[in-house]
């Protein structure tokens, strides 16, 4: 049984991680921390977990207690994992970080986008970017895993086949993405209020979103050259879900794109390439660790449109973290994650 610790379990990714681990046959949550909720029982804060974590309560983070775990998940705001990750790694504990702290390989770039100096630049060389469809073999040997963000997951999985095959013009990529309100986190904010977000949709961070350098980093590696990406996120009046509409131009219009995508993801348990002409819906992946993709070439021209949908809290965060856990410990990658999405 894998002994699990969770730092910062009171947010949406934290409770989703608890929900998924509750049905994992090889993982046991031994420690969960929260400075603000120390002493509160997990089942009291999250009634949906009653009967699953009875006796487990939030505690103040303690490095020695956490180091006794086999693996520690960080479900925290950016900057928090910097302080503790080094100590845990030195003690031999594996770290899976759901925050953005170790996603970018460039510490200076990280500081530019997150408004503070990187707190543990010495660890970046050892951090493995946890997108299994790209880095599965590196994840197997990792000690520190940086779980990709939600927008980056949907966007990269949609663009990868085109860039890896050298088909898309890498200088003219467009990602038009929509997110549910849970992507903003559980903290109180006016923009997330029901009366503000309901029955409305808006773009935001058009000048530059924190996920832009992460997406660009991954697409650059896939293309093997510099890329030009326009990324525009939108807030939509739903709780869960990411819908990425991706645009790329191709010089060779004779390539069977459906076959290309099906071949690329044929052995990926959590990427579903839908039949030609499909339009994947966010509700089809709600609660599931699946990315559903459809590829189109409207009017047979040189513009390719890829539709990519995920649940931002599952394949976009906690589900992908558990997928990394399974790979890291040599388990079936689908363990604890094989459930279908929720409908309606």
The percent of residues in the chain predicted with pLDDT above 70, rounded, is: 100
- The pLDDT, as a whole number, for residue 188 is 74
What average pLDDT does range 16-25 have in this prediction? 97
Secondary structure of 259-292 in HEC code, one letter for each residue: HHHHHHCCCCCCEEECCCCCCCCHHHHCCCCCEE
- Indicate the CATH number for domain 2-148+315-328: 3.40.50.720
The percent of residues in the chain predicted with pLDDT above 90, rounded, is: 92
* pLDDT band at 142; cut points 50, 70, 90: very high
Round the average pLDDT of the chain to a whole number and report it. Answer: 96
pLDDT per residue over 282-300, tens digit each?
999 999 999 999 999 999 9
* Edge-to-edge strand ranges of the sheet holding 94-97: 58-59, 27-33, 2-7, 71-74, 94-97, 144-146, 127-129
- The pLDDT, as a whole number, for residue 330 is 98
pLDDT per residue over 96-113, tens digit each?
999 999 999 999 999 999
- The pLDDT, as a whole number, for residue 310 is 98
The domain defined by 151-312 carries CATH number 3.30.360.10: yes
* pLDDT band at 187; cut points 50, 70, 90: confident
- The pLDDT, as a whole number, for residue 9 is 86
Q: Are strands 58-59 and 144-146 parallel, antiparallel or unpaired?
A: unpaired
pLDDT per residue over 209-256, tens digit each?
999 999 999 999 999 999 999 999 999 999 999 999 999 999 999 999
Q: What is the dihedral of CA 263, 269, 271, 276, to 10 degrees?
A: 50
The single residue of 69, 150, 177, 291 carrying the catalytic annotation is 150
Q: How far is CA 19 from CA 53, 111, 232, in A?
A: 10, 33, 31
Q: How many residues does the chain have?
A: 344
Residues spanned by CATH 3.30.360.10 within the chain? Answer: 151-312
Note the Cα 333 to chain centre separation in Å.
Answer: 16
Pairwise CA distance, residues 93 & 4, whole Å: 10
Pairwise CA distance, residues 192 & 226, whole Å: 35
* pLDDT band at 197; cut points 50, 70, 90: confident
What average pLDDT does range 23-34 have in this prediction? 96
Tokens of 331: 């388990």
Catalytic, 150? Answer: yes
Residues spanned by CATH 3.40.50.720 within the chain? Answer: 2-148+315-328
């Amino acid at each position: 049984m894998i002994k699990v610790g969770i730092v910062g379990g009171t947010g949406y990714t934290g409770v989703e991680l608890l929900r998924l681990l509750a049905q994992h046959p090889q993982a046991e949550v031994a420690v969960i921390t929260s400075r603000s909720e120390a002493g509160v029982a997990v089942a009291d804060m999250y009634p949906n977990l009653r009967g699953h974590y009875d006796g487990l309560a939030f505690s103040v983070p303690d490095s020695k207690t956490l180091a006794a775990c086999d693996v520690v998940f960080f479900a925290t705001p950016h900057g928090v994992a910097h302080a503790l990750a080094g100590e845990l790694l030195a003690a031999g504990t594996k770290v899976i970080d759901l925050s953005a702290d170790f996603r970018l390989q460039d510490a200076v770039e990280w500081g530019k986008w997150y408004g503070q100096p990187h707190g543990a630049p010495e660890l970046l060389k050892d951090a493995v970017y946890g997108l299994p469809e790209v880095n599965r073999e590196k994840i197997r040997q990792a000690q520190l895993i940086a779980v990709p963000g939600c927008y980056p997951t949907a966007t990269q999985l949609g663009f990868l086949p085109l860039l890896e095959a050298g088909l898309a013009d890498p200088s003219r990529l467009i990602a038009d993405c929509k997110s549910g309100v849970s992507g903003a986190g559980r903290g109180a904010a006016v923009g997330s209020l029901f009366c503000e977000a309901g029955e409305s949709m808006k773009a935001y961070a058009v000048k530059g979103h924190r996920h832009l350098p992460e997406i660009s980093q991954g697409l650059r590696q896939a293309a093997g050259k510099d890329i030009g990406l326009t990324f525009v996120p939108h807030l939509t009046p739903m709780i869960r879900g990411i819908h990425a509409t991706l645009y790329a131009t191709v010089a060779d219009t004779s390539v069977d794109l459906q076959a290309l995508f099906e071949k690329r993801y044929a052995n990926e348990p959590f990427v579903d390439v839908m039949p030609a002409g499909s339009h994947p819906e966010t509700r089809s992946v709600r609660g599931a660790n699946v990315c559903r993709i459809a590829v189109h070439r409207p009017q047979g021209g040189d513009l390719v449109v890829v539709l990519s949908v995920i649940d931002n809290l599952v394949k976009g965060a906690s589900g992908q973290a558990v997928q990394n856990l399974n790979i890291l410990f040599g388990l079936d990658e689908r363990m604890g994650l094989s459930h279908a999405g929720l409908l309606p």
